[in-house]
Amino acid sequence: MSEKTHSPVGVSLIQIGAENAGQRIDNFLLTQLKGVPKSHIYRILRTGEVRVNGGRIQAGKRLSAGDVVRLPPVRTSAPVETPVGSVSALRRRLESRILMEDSDLLVIDKPGGIAVHGGSGLSLGIIEGLRRIREEARFLELVHRLDRDTSGCLVIAKKRSALRALHEQFRGKEVQKVYTALLEGVWHQASRRVEQALEKNVLQSGERLVKPSEHGKNAVTVFRRLQGYRALTLVEAEPLTGRTHQIRVHAKCLGHPIAGDQRYGSSDRTRELRQMGLRRLFLHAARLTFTHPGTREPLSVEAPLDPELQHFLAHLR
């Protein structure tokens, strides 16, 4: 078990127990510093205010049992009181989107427009919402993440052992991830493979911006054409690596940004599509295939395309 003590100046020292071993330091801080904006958490990591065994640590480094984490004094936001009516509405919305659940894990069809976790002005994300409606659950942690504007399959672990096993599969590229995306422009090839290294930059606001760079990390995405529309192409996108914003940036590298992408697409085209009825990023995590951490059997979970995206395609037809 992790143990927490306090110094006279308000600094907290936490010794990492077995249940937190293997967890990334940034994810650990998100669970320890509830109510603190994500941008502030990354800032105290960058400035060295957070220390592990007396030394600085990068956001992606993983903790080991016995490590001592130094947390600086931080001011958390006041907890947001949620009216009873909104809790019941939250329960209906989230539980209606659960794709599968057992004693090890839960897979939810994440709605577009909701972050996977709170922070940066958001009181509730998907994981906080699930914890709110599943108060009896002793353990609920995100296995991976989806961008706020991306919908589809999102895996939540219900046991520390399941979290570790699934993290190993994601790190080992043993998870097949298939997305549905609508790209700007027309192309007729059956498939296209993009191999372009990507470099991530975190702005002072905490916003992540990714760009192609020979100094970045290797990234590979395969795009397969599904259907063409006037000036738009529906594709299946399979990322073979797991970089931040990978599909979005690789689509831009093709010269065909994802429709509705306000960060990497054309602002003029995004406005045109909004007037046509597309009010979000057209990117959907359609299918995940992995080994179940408990049974060790193959498991494939699919999330149907969100109704708003289906309606937009129907409008194009």
Q: Which of 306, 313, 312 is nearest to 278 (CA)?
A: 312
Beta-ladder partners of 62: 24
Residue burial 147-184, b: 16+ Cβ < 10 Å; e: rest: bbbbbbbbbbbbbbebbbbbbebeeeeebebbbbbbbb
Q: Which of 244, 189, 198, 199 is nearest to 222 (CA)?
A: 189
* Alpha helix positions (H), the chain: 25-32, 38-46, 84-95, 126-133, 160-171, 246-253, 267-276, 307-316
What lies within 8 Å, CB to CB, of 172 at 6+ separation is: none
| Residue whose tokens read 């359609």 | 286
Residue 70 · residue 28 · CB < 8 Å? no
Catalytic site residue from 67, 147, 149, 306: 147
- In terms of Cβ atoms closer than 10 Å to its own Cβ (0-12, 13-18, 19+), residue 10 is exposed
Query: Cα 277–283–286 angle (5° rounding)?
Result: 120
Beta-ladder partners of 177: 288
> Using CA atoms, how far apart are residues 158 and 32, in angstroms rounded to an integer?
18
> Using CA atoms, how far apart are residues 168 and 120, in angstroms rounded to an integer?
29
Residue burial 232-259, b: 16+ Cβ < 10 Å; e: rest: bbbbbbbbbeebbbbbbbbbbbbebbbb
* Catalytic annotation present for 147: yes
- Catalytic sites, residue numbers: 147
